[in-house]
């Protein structure tokens, strides 16, 4: 065979958007990195980037157009149902094509994915060189090597060959730069506001937050201590220069690393080179307990205009007990105000519907955002991802109902946090923040405490129609989202300007 035609299939949509064909897609670093390694190894790669669920006939026709020898699905937990359906179609129409799956879900729940009809193998963990070795062997023999590191493979006798996970690549500089030809940067969601390129210069995270897959992915490797790795500052900047060479009109970078300033020395060495050789605006993810005034000043000086930081829940004891996030609220507020003094826009990640959450706890999260003067929030629905500690907590508490669809926004069944309260918080998050913020800005002392308690009482009172309000706000939200999608599709230049103006106004 000599070389292999490898087709990546990337289901990049949700249940709510599976039929909408106008939504831009997301960048996937794993796919781009594996593609670069395969191409350097002499193989051909292509990408079927699905931003909506295709029908069976269109799917098979599109796959055939690539003439693949091997197909690789990347699988998010929320996309598992779609992958299962498409893999079944492939099993019927193209039984001779080898199909593998990789990504977070196959790495954390390999038994579930290898059991799907049409899936011949799953790759656990990072896939660059293990996939290359697998493909090289396949190119020579036309058959899968059932002893391939990091792969679980269905054997001819019906058994599953479960091979050990190969140690991860410790030095990221030894990896080629991601395949910049695979994704069309201009058509990605990160490019909706301005010409922005999404990049990742690290892998892993030092922390073990109970809801995050990073800690569990670290645990599949024999050597866990060095799992958190960064490209060297020089190599990271060289990657950015390569991106700018590919598209000189890029105006900003979006660093989608778990925590860009994870290692202080690395961060300062990187920003020094960044200011000297790149000089573009950027956004990044940070962590409150990695920030001080010196760091905030350096962020602003190096071009950072927006940061997104994980808050998750507003109660200190709850965060510590259930999320393993030990941070003081007063420090969180201080850091947020400090970032804003340096002209940096602050967004927060928040989770709604965590195990043992109540409406009162949700209001604590809202009130902390109000005190922080957060510019915007990302309020995510809790999902009990496989193998995570928070899933075990939910299971032991009896909150998980196996009949609940993975696409239901309310994943847990908790008597103290009914669906009406969840929907009320979900679709009123920003509005409630603004209400509380007005009180915090206008009043002090005992008067402040009385007015906050009065608003708390009104919201949590039995007569407050939370169910009706949540339903109305949800419908209004869906209408606004639909309008934005239509404007972005029909008038993309105007939409981009309006988005950029909205972000600028928050600075």
Q: In what order do the strands lie in the sheet containing 304-312? A: 196-199, 252-255, 281-286, 304-312, 345-352, 376-381
pLDDT of residue 479: 86
* Per-residue model confidence as pLDDT tens for the chain (507 residues): 679 999 999 999 998 889 888 888 999 999 999 999 999 999 999 999 999 999 999 999 999 999 999 999 999 999 999 999 999 999 999 999 999 999 999 999 999 999 999 999 999 999 999 999 999 999 999 999 999 999 999 988 889 999 999 999 999 999 999 999 999 877 787 776 678 999 999 999 999 999 998 888 999 998 888 999 999 999 999 999 999 999 999 999 999 999 999 999 999 999 999 999 999 999 999 999 999 999 999 999 999 999 999 999 999 999 999 999 999 999 999 999 999 999 999 999 999 999 999 999 999 999 999 999 999 999 999 999 999 999 999 999 999 999 999 999 999 999 999 999 999 999 999 999 999 999 999 999 999 999 999 999 999 999 999 999 999 999 998 888 777 777 766 666 666 666 666 655 555
Residue in the block written with tokens 């050597």:
223
Query: Of the candidates 194, 213, 200, which has an alpha carbon nearest to the alpha carbon of residue 32?
Result: 200
pLDDT of residue 336: 98
pLDDT of residue 237: 98
pLDDT of residue 504: 57
Other CB atoms within 10 Å distance of the CB of residue 494:
11
Helices (H) and strands (E) in the chain, counts: 19, 15
DSSP for 89-156, written as a single string: HHHHH-TTSEEEEESHHHHH-HHHHHTSTT--EEE-S--HHHHHHHHHHHHHHSS--TT-TTEEEE-T
pLDDT of residue 23: 84
**Domain 5-162, what architecture?**
3-Layer(aba) Sandwich (3.40)
pLDDT of residue 503: 58
User: Sign (positive/negative) of CA torsion 402, 404, 410, 416?
Assistant: negative
pLDDT of residue 507: 52
Query: Of the candidates 319, 103, 307, which has an alpha carbon nearest to the alpha carbon of residue 209?
Result: 319
pLDDT of residue 499: 62
User: Sign (positive/negative) of CA torsion 421, 424, 426, 428?
Assistant: negative
Return contacts of 161-165, CB within 8 angstroms, 24+ apart: 162/110, 164/222, 165/124, 165/125, 165/220, 165/221, 165/222
**DSSP-based three-state secondary structure for 250:** coil
Domain ranges of the chain: 5-162, 185-506
pLDDT of residue 2: 78
Tokens of 247: 């598209």
Classified by CATH at the fold level, domain 185-506 comes out as pyruvate-formate lyase- activating enzyme (3.80.30)
């Amino acid at each position: 065979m000599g070389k292999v035609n490898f087709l990546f299939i990337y289901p990049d949509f949700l249940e709510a958007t599976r039929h909408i064909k106008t939504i831009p897609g997301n960048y996937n670093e794993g796919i781009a990195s594996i593609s670069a390694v395969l191409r350097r190894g002499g193989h051909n790669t292509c990408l079927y980037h699905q931003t909506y669920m295709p029908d069976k006939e269109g799917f098979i026709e599109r796959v055939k157009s690539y003439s693949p020898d091997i197909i690789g699905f990347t699988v998010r937990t929320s996309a598992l149902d779609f992958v299962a359906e498409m893999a079944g179609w492939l099993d019927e129409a193209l039984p001779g094509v080898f199909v593998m799956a990789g990504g977070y879900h196959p790495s954390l729940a390999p038994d579930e994915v290898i059991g799907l009809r049409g899936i011949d193998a799953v790759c656990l963990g990072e896939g660059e060189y293990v996939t290359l070795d697998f493909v090289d062997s396949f190119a020579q023999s036309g058959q899968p090597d059932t002893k391939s590191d990091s792969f679980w493979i269905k054997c001819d006798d019906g058994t599953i060959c479960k091979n050990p996970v190969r140690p991860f690549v410790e030095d990221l500089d030894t990896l080629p730069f991601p395949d910049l030809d695979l994704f069309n940067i201009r058509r990605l969601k990160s490019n909706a506001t301005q010409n922005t390129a999404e990049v990742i210069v690290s892998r892993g995270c030092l922390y073990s937050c109970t809801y995050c897959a990073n800690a569990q992915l670290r645990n599949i490797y024999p050597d866990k201590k060095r799992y958190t790795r960064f490209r060297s500052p020089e190599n990271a900047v060289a990657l950015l220069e390569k991106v700018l060479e590919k598209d000189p009109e890029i105006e900003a970078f979006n660093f989608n690393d778990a925590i860009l300033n994870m290692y202080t020395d690395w961060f300062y060495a990187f920003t020094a080179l960044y200011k000297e050789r790149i000089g573009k605006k950027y956004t990044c993810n940070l962590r409150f307990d990695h920030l001080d005034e010196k760091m905030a000043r350096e962020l602003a000086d190096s071009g950072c205009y927006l940061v997104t930081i994980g808050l998750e829940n507003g109660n200190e004891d709850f965060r510590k007990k259930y999320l393993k996030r030990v941070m003081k609220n007063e420090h969180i507020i201080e850091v947020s105000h400090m970032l804003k003094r340096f002209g940096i826009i602050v967004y927060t990640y928040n989770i709604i519907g965590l195990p043992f959450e109540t409406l009162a706890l949700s209001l604590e999260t809202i009130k902390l955002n109000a005190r922080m003067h957060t510019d915007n929030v990302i309020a995510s629905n809790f999902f009990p991802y496989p193998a995570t500690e928070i899933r075990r907590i939910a299971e032991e508490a009896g909150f998980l109902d196996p009949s609940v669809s993975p696409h239901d926004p309310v994943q847990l069944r908790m008597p103290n946090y009914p669906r009406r309260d969840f929907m009320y918080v979900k679709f009123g998050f920003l509005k409630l923040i603004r209400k509380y913020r007005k009180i915090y800005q206008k009043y002090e002392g005992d008067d402040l405490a009385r007015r906050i308690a009065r608003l708390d009482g009104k919201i949590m009172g039995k007569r407050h129609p939370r169910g009706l309000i949540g339903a109305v706000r949800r419908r209004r939200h869906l209408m606004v989202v639909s309008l934005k999608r239509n404007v972005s599709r029909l008038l993309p230049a105007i939409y981009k300007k309006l988005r950029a103006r909205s972000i600028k106004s928050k600075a």
